């Protein structure tokens, strides 16, 4: 039987796409944003969806091998102006509602994702709270900061991934860490080797032509509430050298920079105006995860479950 994944804080389905690619079935989704729900319905019309995680009961969640999602980052993000509320905030504090469900459902594996700022929020106390909460529920926990650019995604996007394995002190390490390191670029690292060039300074395109040029690696795309500013396009932009014109990335280009298939963030139906649609897609993509990173983790979880036995096989 195929392993199963229960998706929380589903957004536009980055986790779900990644786990499907790794051979999992999606057992349920939980998302409150109407636009994101419309995108999920387009891609998974037959998957049952829950809305407000505060109202979800353990009995609402089918037996699933892995529970996962990226709980809201707004209150712990370094990109947030002013003082950060941390886990006491209304958005990031939804972690505790997720933990309540985990404590009742006890899935074999839990996967959490959040911004790098979680490690430092309230001088590390918020991150300590997340780890301690999972440990008190019986999970052996590990974490690792992964950058999307190392997984074939043309974007520098650092995120912390937290894995908890129920009553298995070695499981998280097996999933998160490889037994061997890959060789570095030895030639460039030697004293007499060529000087390393920042990927942000490498460009793709013909500077002498009429077409645009872009950075080979984009800066981290972030979500904003302002209209048509769903990316930090002051750093990630598309210039036309001959004319001096500069523009922001389009939503379709942002999908590629995030590692999604083209057109993924389009919702079901046509009830949005073109301007509103662009803004909603920018925001949803800026809040999303990059599927190739999670697919790597999901593949390792699949191997772990094949060794340990999935919840479905145990229940059967």
The model's pLDDT over 55-105, given as tens digits with 9 standing for 90+, comes to 999 999 999 999 999 877 654 555 554 555 556 565 667 888 999 999 999
Let me know whether 9 and 79 are in one domain: yes
Query: Is residue 120 in a domain?
Result: yes
Q: Both 22 and 129 in a single domain? A: yes
In a domain, 212, yes or no: yes
Are 34 and 45 within one domain? Answer: yes
Residues 47 and 116 in one domain: yes
In a domain, residue 272? The reply is yes
Residues 235 and 245 in one domain: yes
Cβ neighbours of 189 (radius 10 Å): 10
The domain spanning residue 265 has which CATH number? 3.90.120
Span 121-147, pLDDT tens digits? 778 888 898 999 999 999 999 999 999
Active-site annotation holds for 222 = no
Q: Which of 73, 165, 220, 222 is catalytic?
A: 73
User: Does residue 191 fall inside a structural domain?
Assistant: no
Higher pLDDT, 190 or 308: 308
Are both 83 and 164 inside the same structural domain? yes
pLDDT-based confidence at residue 228 (cuts at 50, 70, 90):
very low
Q: Which domain holds residue 69?
A: 4-176+289-315
DSSP letter (8 states) at residue 78: T
Residues 121 and 118: their CA atoms lie apart, in Å, by 5
Query: Is residue 293, in this structure, part of any structural domain at all?
Result: yes
Shared domain check, 155 and 34: yes
The reported pLDDT for the residue numbered 95 is 86
The CATH number given to whatever domain includes residue 151 is: 3.40.50.150
- Res. 191 pLDDT band, cuts 50 70 90: low
Residues 224, 121: one domain? no
State pLDDT tens for residues 267-280. Answer: 998 788 888 999 99
Classify residue 263 by burial, with Cβ atoms within 10 Å: 0-12, 13-18, 19+.
exposed
The verdict on 163 and 226 lying in the same domain is no
Helix segments in the chain, DSSP class H: 14-21, 34-43, 95-105, 125-136, 171-176, 186-189, 251-258, 274-287, 291-308, 311-315
Beta bridge partners of 26: 5
Residues 129 and 246 in one domain: no
Do 129 and 205 fall within a single domain? no
Report yes or no on 41 lying in a domain. Answer: yes
Which of 57-71, 170-184, 242-256 has maximum average pLDDT? 57-71
Please give the average per-residue pLDDT across 36-41, as a whole number: 97
Number of structural domains in the chain: 2
Q: Are residues 138 and 98 in the same domain?
A: yes
Does the pLDDT at position 291 exceed 70? Answer: yes
């Amino acid at each position: 039987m195929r392993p199963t994944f229960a998706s929380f804080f589903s957004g536009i389905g980055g986790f779900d796409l990644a786990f499907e690619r790794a051979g999992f079935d999606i057992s349920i989704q939980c998302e409150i944003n109407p636009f994101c729900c419309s995108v999920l319905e387009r891609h998974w019309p037959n998957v049952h969806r829950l809305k407000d995680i505060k109202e979800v009961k353990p009995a609402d969640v089918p037996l699933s091998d892995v529970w996962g999602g990226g709980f809201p980052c707004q209150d712990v993000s370094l990109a947030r102006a002013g003082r950060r509320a941390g886990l006491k905030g209304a958005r990031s504090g939804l972690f505790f509602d997720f933990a309540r469900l985990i404590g009742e459902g006890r899935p074999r594996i839990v996967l959490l994702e959040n911004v790098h700022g979680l490690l430092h929020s309230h001088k590390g106390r918020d991150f300590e709270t997340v780890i301690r909460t999972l440990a008190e529920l019986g999970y052996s926990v590990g974490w690792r900061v992964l950058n999307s650019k190392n997984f074939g995604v043309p974007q520098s996007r650092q995120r912390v991934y937290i894995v908890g394995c129920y009553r298995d002190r070695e499981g998280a390490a097996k999933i998160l860490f490889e037994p061997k390191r890959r060789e570095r670029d030895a030639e460039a690292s030697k004293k007499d080797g060529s000087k390393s060039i920042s990927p942000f300074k490498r460009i793709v395109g013909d500077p002498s032509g009429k077409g645009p040029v872009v950075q080979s690696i984009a800066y981290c795309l972030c979500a904003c509430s302002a209209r048509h500013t769903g990316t930090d396009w002051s750093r990630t932009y598309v210039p036309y050298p001959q004319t001096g014109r500069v523009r922001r990335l389009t939503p379709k280009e942002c999908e590629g920079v995030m590692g999604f298939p083209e057109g993924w963030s389009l919702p079901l139906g046509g009830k949005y105006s073109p301007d509103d649609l662009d803004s909603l897609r920018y925001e949803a993509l800026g809040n999303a995860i990059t599927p190739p990173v999670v697919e790597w983790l999901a593949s390792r979880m699949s191997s772990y479950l094949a060794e340990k036995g999935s919840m479905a096989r145990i229940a059967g």
